[in-house]
């Protein structure tokens, strides 16, 4: 493991480690259970993506971004339109109209078609938010751990920086270790 | 009794939302403004729950208070914060034109308020025959959450379009940022 460990308040990291599984579970529940309870794909996807963002703030944005699989994320981004289109065309294939669900040859067709669409929406929305967050964080470097030299303190005349920043070479391919 | 409590809660929340909205514009420190703006979204989310729109409330809390705040924090991370002077903006730095435009828009919106029907009025379009059909037909199909049923089963074209918009927005944003890989 070659990356610099990002150290922050142990209160924050511990709290986030403790809460993240529950928040993610709630997001997935919202996504998968949209036909019978509050929420749906959009809300569930946002909550699931918020889990990743919270982890990034607590454990280091760059480290979290390295941990993400870019190809899987890209697949999730296109999942929504693809699944929605497939379900819509399945209605045509089953002899109905575009987006007609009750002709599908499965039990409780409307429920399962709606669930499939919601999960697709959740995948797209969540992945898009994570991707935007990671890409906006390019060039952002966390306040470094003690001993690291990457910190660029931009103090000019009584102004303190919001966060220590350093320019970042655009990483076309994220190096994966571990 | 419940009505009184709900009314008091709604008034308190509306006052809170109004206060933090004004505060967002007035505080000098951008980081403080971002946090106060998140509080604004949180107040709105609780208001939606109070008005029995839990789907909207959940969206407001997750997007408005959560993700937007995170993106704003990233956006301001390249800025510096002033260490001197007070915590409110200097009134001399505010352009009168901006205040006039903001005030005119506010007054313009407020004069439309009396035209709105009262909360829960039964003669509004929301309580027309189509709503009764949606509620009973969605239950017959096994979709208990009527909001989801309207979004996907009855208004599928619109929702399909929304997903396409989210997808296109992501592609456009990544293109503007000059990135081909998403992560």
Instruction: Please tell me the predicted confidence (pLDDT) of residue A143.
Output: 59
Per CB-CB distance under 8 Å, the chain B contacts of A99 are 156-157, 160
- Region B1-116: CATH code: 1.20.120.1200
Q: What is the pLDDT of residues B10-34, one digit of tens each?
A: 999 999 999 999 999 889 888 899 9
Q: Is residue A53 part of a domain?
A: yes
How far, in Å, are A28, A98, A109, B130 from residue B140 at the CA level? 25, 21, 12, 15
Residues, chain B, total?
183
- Joined tokens for residue B171: 């592609």
Contact A40 B151 (CB under 8 A): yes
Contact A136 B164 (CB under 8 A): no
Count of domains forming chain A: 1
What's the whole-number mean pLDDT along residues B29-44? 94
**Domain ranges (residues) in chain B:** 1-116, 121-183
Contact B159 A131 (CB under 8 A): no
Chains A–B, number of C-beta pairs less than 8 Å apart: 174
Instruction: Please tell me the predicted confidence (pLDDT) of residue A152.
Output: 40
Contact B182 A131 (CB under 8 A): yes
Q: Is the pLDDT of residue B9 over 90?
A: yes
Per CB-CB distance under 8 Å, the chain A contacts of B177 are 135-136, 138
Q: Which of B55, B164, B182 sits opposite A39 (nearest CB)?
A: B55
Contact B77 A40 (CB under 8 A): no
Contact A53 B169 (CB under 8 A): no
- Joined tokens for residue A38: 């509050």
Report d(CA B60, CA B83) in Å as an integer.
33
Q: Check: CB of residue A56 under 8 Å from CB of residue A65.
A: yes
- Joined tokens for residue B71: 């993106």
Q: Check: CB of residue B79 under 8 Å from CB of residue B29.
A: no
DSSP state letter for A62: H
| Nearest chain B alpha carbon to A70 | B183
Instruction: Please tell me the predicted confidence (pLDDT) of residue B129.
Output: 85
- Domain, as residue range, for A50: 10-136
Helix (H, G, I), strand (E, B) or coil at A127: helix
**Distant-in-sequence, close-in-space partners of B94: CB < 8 Å, separation ≥ 6:** none
Contact B182 A129 (CB under 8 A): no
**Distant-in-sequence, close-in-space partners of A128: CB < 8 Å, separation ≥ 6:** A77, B166, B167, B169, B170
Low-confidence ranges of chain A (pLDDT < 50): 1-3, 147-178
DSSP state letter for A161: E
Helix (H, G, I), strand (E, B) or coil at A143: coil
Instruction: Please tell me the predicted confidence (pLDDT) of residue A6.
Output: 54
Instruction: Please tell me the predicted confidence (pLDDT) of residue A159.
Output: 41
Q: Is the pLDDT of residue B181 over 80?
A: no
Instruction: Please tell me the predicted confidence (pLDDT) of residue A168.
Output: 40
User: For the residues of chain B, what is the DSSP string, one character each?
Assistant: -HHHHHHHHHHHHHHHHHHHHHHHHHBS-HHHHHHHHHHHHHHHHHHHHHTT-HHHHHHIIIIIIIIHHHHHHHHHTTSEEE-SS-SB--GGGS-HHHHHHHHHHHHHHHTTGGGSPPTT-TTSGGGSHHHHHHHHHHHHHT---HHHIIIIIISHHHHHHHHHHHHHHHHHHHHHHT-SS--
Report d(CA B20, CA B37) in Å as an integer.
7
Instruction: Please tell me the predicted confidence (pLDDT) of residue A155.
Output: 37
Instruction: Please tell me the predicted confidence (pLDDT) of residue B125.
Output: 77
Alpha helices in A33-69 (DSSP H): 41-59, 61-67
Q: Is residue A143 part of a domain?
A: no
Q: What is the pLDDT of residues A40-69, one digit of tens each?
A: 899 999 999 999 999 998 888 888 888 999
Q: What is the ipTM of this complex?
A: 0.85
Q: What is the pLDDT of residues B60-86, one digit of tens each?
A: 999 999 999 999 988 888 787 777 667
Q: Is residue A167 part of a domain?
A: no
Alpha helices in chain A (DSSP H): 10-32, 41-59, 61-67, 70-93, 109-136
Report d(CA B71, CA B74) in Å as an integer.
5
| Nearest chain B alpha carbon to A64 | B183
What's the whole-number mean pLDDT along residues B91-111? 92
Q: What is the pLDDT of residues B103-151, one digit of tens each?
A: 999 999 999 999 888 877 888 877 788 888 998 999 898 898 889 999 9
Q: Which of A84, A135, A170 sits opposite B174 (nearest CB)?
A: A135
Q: Which of B30, B143, B177 sits opposite A114 (nearest CB)?
A: B143
Contact B177 A138 (CB under 8 A): yes
Q: Check: CB of residue A106 under 8 Å from CB of residue A112.
A: yes
Comparison of pLDDT for B182 and B51, the residue scoring more? B51
Q: Residue A163: name the closest of B175, B182, B34, B66 by CA.
A: B34
| Nearest chain B alpha carbon to A37 | B145
CA distance A158 to chain B (A): 6
Instruction: Please tell me the predicted confidence (pLDDT) of residue A47.
Output: 94
């Amino acid at each position: 493991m070659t990356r610099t460990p990002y150290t922050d308040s142990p209160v924050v990291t511990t709290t986030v480690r403790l809460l993240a599984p529950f928040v993610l579970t709630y997001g997935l529940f919202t996504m998968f259970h949209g036909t019978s309870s509050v929420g749906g794909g959009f809300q569930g996807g946002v909550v699931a993506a918020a889990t990743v963002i919270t982890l990034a703030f607590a454990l280091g944005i760059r480290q979290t971004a390295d941990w993400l699989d870019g190809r899987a994320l890209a697949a999730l981004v296109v999942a929504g339109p693809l699944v929605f289109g497939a379900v819509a065309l399945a209605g045509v294939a089953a002899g109905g109209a575009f987006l007609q669900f009750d002709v599908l040859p499965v039990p409780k067709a409307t429920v399962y078609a709606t669930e499939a669409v919601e999960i697709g929406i959740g995948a797209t929305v969540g992945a898009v938010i994570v991707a935007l967050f990671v890409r906006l964080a390019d060039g952002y470097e966390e306040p470094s751990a003690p001993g690291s030299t990457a910190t660029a303190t931009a103090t000019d005349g009584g102004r303190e920086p919001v966060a220590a920043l350093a320019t970042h070479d655009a990483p076309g391919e994220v190096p994966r270790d571990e | 009794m419940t009505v009184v409590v709900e009314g008091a809660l709604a008034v308190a929340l509306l006052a809170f939302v109004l206060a933090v909205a004004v505060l967002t514009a007035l505080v000098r420190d951008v980081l403080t403004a971002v946090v106060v703006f998140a509080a604004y979204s949180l107040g709105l989310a609780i208001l939606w729950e109070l008005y029995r729109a839990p789907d909207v409330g959940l969206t407001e809390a997750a997007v408005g208070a959560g993700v937007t705040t995170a993106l704003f924090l990233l956006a301001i991370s390249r800025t510096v914060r002033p260490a001197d002077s007070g915590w409110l903006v200097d009134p001399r730095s505010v352009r009168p034109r901006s205040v006039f435009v903001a005030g005119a828009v506010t007054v313009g919106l407020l004069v439309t308020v009396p035209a709105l029907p009262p909360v829960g009025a039964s003669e509004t379009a929301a309580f027309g025959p189509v709503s009764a059909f949606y509620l009973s037909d969605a239950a017959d199909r096994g979709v208990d959450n009527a909001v989801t049923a309207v979004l996907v089963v009855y208004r599928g074209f619109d929702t399909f379009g929304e997903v396409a918009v989210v997808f296109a927005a992501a592609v456009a944003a990544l293109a503007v940022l000059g990135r081909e890989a998403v992560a």
